[in-house]
Amino acid sequence: MVLLLEQLLNGLQLGVMLFLLAAGLTLVFGIMGVINLAHGSLYMVGAFAAAWVAAQTGSALLAVPAGLAAAALAGMAVELLVLRRLYARDHLDQVLATFGLILFFNQGAILLFGRQPLFVDIPEGLRGAVEIIPGVPYPAYRLAILAVGLLVAAGLYGLIRHTRTGMLVRAGATHREMVRALGVDVRKLYTLVFGLGALLAGLAGLMAGPIFSVQVGMGEQILIMTFVVVVIGGIGSVRGALAGALLVGLVDTLLRAYLPALLRGAMQGPDADALAAGLASMGVYLLMALVLLLRPRGLFPAHA
Amino acid sequence: MFRRARRPSPGWLVLPPLLALAIALPWAAEALGTPASTGLATRMAIYAIAASALNLVLGYGGMVSFGHAAFFGLGGYTVGILYAHWSWQEPLWGFIPGTTSLPVTLLAAMAVGGAGAALIGALSLRTRGVQFIMITLAFAQMLFFLFVSLKAYGGDDGLSVRRQGEFPGLNLRDAAQLYWLCLSLLVAWLLLLWRVTRSRFGQVLSGARQSERRLQALGIAPYPYKLAAFILSGMGAALAGALMANYARFVSPDMLAWTKSGELMIMVILGGVGTLMGPVLGAIALVGLEYWLAALTEHWQFVLGPLLIAVVLFARGGLMALLRRPGAPGRAQA
């Protein structure tokens, strides 16, 4: 019971991390029609910038703005220099160009920081554990991630539902051509959305630092999961991204936690562990295939 | 509607001399004292088969598959697993004997690749657009993790194929003979694709790319045609994977990684989408670039990345478009 509660929280925490990435990706996808494989690179940029500043200054308070700024600046630079020219192109060109960006960012990170993973300490005030219910301690840092993720989700909801910019974002996701035809400066909107997405990716990256190691390739691992989330949720829908992220986070975490024990009932220990790890990794893709076959446009389709 | 007048283009005249050059390559490599070039050319020929296979669905059929590494890997693992059971002297599932005979393993690889493509294609082709890209990726990732978890066949570490496949009349331990085998299979595969894309089947396929609704109005259901093309494409990619397992004498889950699917896609786009020779050019260019850049600097990807972006931004239609009309901007892609 206690284990289940911990695993559920772990799943939710992975879910909100995925949400931070998926929110930006789904908007870029839905509004600009761009498949941005380099979104994971922005996550990596945020993580490296924060890790480096934290190592240099020893201050988590400085690391946070550094990570956010680095990711947002990298994102806007990418949008201005490369992606802006790709909006009218087909998905193939976008995949190729953003694949090129991944190579560039990964090698750039190797040039600057080397191949060794960087390790980041958990900030001073968040090192301990909190008893969520009496007798069940849970790491404070992971709870903080969960809180930040949910706050951002609420903030995004407010931004998209109740502001003028949010109205344009929603309109852009459902009726792209019409927004353009009504004389809205879509280029400004695009840069804004892309910058926001990059900022959220950077936030996810800098929070991931103390949990996972900060290394080259970290972006691609989570990028593919993020695509799964976006497709499950419905492209262009932030609500769908939240639902999809929590679902994927829970499914992945629970499979990893319980599948080995289940399989060990039927097979040898090490073999069962290896097979369980593989099956658990397959789980979210199976989920995505099922969702796509039953509801090809995702759970919350944005394009009505 | 589908039919357009074809005049013989001067490009065809270039092909025979190019083929002669390709055949002579191992001797030239020997004479110039760079025997490693034969291996490089073998890799190019193998990837050319895989990229042309992807191009059949991607370029002619308009189905952007982001999971073709799955079939490449299935082909490779067919060779690897048949070898493993041959070396253990223990039939697979108790009734399929292992073997190292190349004709058998190549055919088996194509059968497995085709079956995999039939299964994945039948499900994936119910979706289109971005969803198709993502569902093919999802299936490829599932297979990737499946092979990672199969400890019996090496899991993460992969599987060594210690014995070279045997082909009657050939000694495949000789790099040149393996190269000629791969080259002839590439030529045969290209001839097949050339025939297929110019047949009625090919016309329907390209009609499905342009407009499925128009095709349906003509009374043709596109789904069976698209599925057939997907299966043929999967078989081609599996053939390439099987050859790669023989060349590298090693298979690993890396063959099914999503980056491999991306690389195949890059070759197609780099060379020219929907052209017969484009993917071949793209494979030669990408494998060659990687080789030369890697010799120059450890950080070759730092150069390759921006180069790819430049190709997308400034050379639309890929290398084929550059060759067709030198100096002029490439034709728009369909």
Residue B9 — pLDDT band, cuts 50, 70, 90?
low
Residue with more model confidence, A150 or B296:
A150
Q: Does residue A59 lie in a domain region?
A: yes
Q: Does residue B267 lie in a domain region?
A: no
Task: Encode pLDDT of B115-130 as tens digits.
Answer: 999 999 998 998 888 8
Among A89, A91, A293, the residue with its CB nearest the CB of B123 is: A293
Among B127, B149, B266, the residue with its CB nearest the CB of A96 is: B266
pLDDT of residue A167: 86
Kindly report the number of other CB atoms within 10 A of residue A266's CB atom. Answer: 8
Are residues A231 and B139, on separate chains, in Cβ contact within 8 Å?
Answer: no
Distance (Å, rounded) from C-alpha A291 to C-alpha A280?
Answer: 17
Interface residue A290 vs chain B (CB under 8 A): no
Q: Does residue B311 lie in a domain region?
A: no
Q: Does residue A269 lie in a domain region?
A: no
Q: Does residue A237 lie in a domain region?
A: no
* Domain span at B218: 36-256
Q: Does residue A229 lie in a domain region?
A: no
Q: Does residue B264 lie in a domain region?
A: no
All residues of chain B having their beta carbon less than 8 Å from the beta carbon of residue A221 are: none
Task: Encode pLDDT of B305-323 as tens digits.
Answer: 888 888 888 877 778 877 7
Interface residue A99 vs chain B (CB under 8 A): yes
Q: Does residue A158 lie in a domain region?
A: yes
Q: Does residue A279 lie in a domain region?
A: no
Three-state secondary structure along chain B? CCCCCCCCCCHHHHHHHHHHHHHHHHHHHHHHCCCHHHHHHHHHHHHHHHHHHHHHHHHHCCCCCCCCHHHHHHHHHHHHHHHHHHHHCCCECCCECCCCEHHHHHHHHHHHHHHHHHHHHHHHCCCCCHHHHHHHHHHHHHHHHHHHHCHHHCHHHCEECCCCCEECCECCCCHHHHHHHHHHHHHHHHHHHHHHHHCHHHHHHHHHHHCHHHHHHCCCCHHHHHHHHHHHHHHHHHHHHHHHHHHHCEECHHHHCHHHHHHHHHHHHHHCCCCCCHHHHHHHHHHHHHHHHHHHCCCHHHHHHHHHHHHHHHCCCHHHHHHHCCCCCCCCCC
Q: Does residue B214 lie in a domain region?
A: yes
Residue B235 — pLDDT band, cuts 50, 70, 90?
very high
Domains in chain B, number: 1
Among A37, A82, A228, the residue with its CB nearest the CB of B138 is: A228
* Domain span at A80: 2-215
Which residue, among B219, B286, B285, has the nearest Cα to B259 in the 3D structure?
B286
What is the total residue count of chain B?
Answer: 334
Average pLDDT over chain B reads: 86
Are residues A278 and B259, on separate chains, in Cβ contact within 8 Å?
Answer: no
All residues of chain B having their beta carbon less than 8 Å from the beta carbon of residue A30 are: none
Distance (Å, rounded) from C-alpha B191 to C-alpha B185?
Answer: 10
Over 60: is that where the pLDDT of B334 sits? no
Over 60: is that where the pLDDT of B328 sits? no
Over 90: is that where the pLDDT of B238 sits? yes
Q: How far is B267 from chain A (nearest CA, A)?
A: 10
Average pLDDT over chain A reads: 86
Q: In which residue ranges of chain A is pLDDT below 70? A: 1, 269, 302-304
Residue pair B245/B76 in contact (Cβ under 8 Å)? The answer is: yes
Q: Does residue B138 lie in a domain region?
A: yes
Among B137, B149, B311, the residue with its CB nearest the CB of A274 is: B149
Are residues B305 and A227, on separate chains, in Cβ contact within 8 Å?
Answer: no
State which amino acid sits at residue A260.
Answer: P
Residue B330 — pLDDT band, cuts 50, 70, 90?
very low
Domains in chain A, number: 1
Q: What SS3 state is found at A265?
A: coil
Q: Which of A125-134, B14-23, B231-240 has the lowest mean pLDDT?
A: A125-134
Distance (Å, rounded) from C-alpha B78 to C-alpha B82?
Answer: 6
Q: What is the DSSP letter of A36?
A: -
Q: Does residue A293 lie in a domain region?
A: no
Q: Which of A126-130, B35-39, B282-286 has the lowest mean pLDDT?
A: A126-130
B222: which 2 tokens?
């596109």
Distance (Å, rounded) from C-alpha B143 to C-alpha B70?
Answer: 7
Among A93, A106, A285, the residue with its CB nearest the CB of B301 is: A106
Interface residue A80 vs chain B (CB under 8 A): no
Angle at A31 between CA A28 and CA A32, to 5 degrees: 70
Q: How far is B16 from chain A (nearest CA, A)?
A: 31
Which residue, among B14, B148, B288, B262, has the nearest Cα to A91 in the 3D structure?
B262
Task: Encode pLDDT of B247-273 as tens digits.
Answer: 998 999 999 988 899 889 989 988 888
Residue B332 — pLDDT band, cuts 50, 70, 90?
very low
Distance (Å, rounded) from C-alpha A270 to C-alpha B21?
Answer: 52
Residue with more model confidence, B233 or A63:
B233
Q: Does residue B299 lie in a domain region?
A: no
Are residues A101 and B299, on separate chains, in Cβ contact within 8 Å?
Answer: no
pLDDT of residue A304: 46
Q: Does residue A224 lie in a domain region?
A: no
Distance (Å, rounded) from C-alpha B326 to C-alpha B317?
Answer: 12
Q: Does residue B26 lie in a domain region?
A: no
- To which H or E segment does residue A27 belong? helix A2-27
Q: Average pLDDT in the B277-294 region?
A: 91
Distance (Å, rounded) from C-alpha A208 to C-alpha A16?
Answer: 11
Q: Does residue B72 lie in a domain region?
A: yes
Over 90: is that where the pLDDT of B99 sits? no
Task: Encode pLDDT of B57-78 as tens digits.
Answer: 998 988 989 999 999 999 999 9
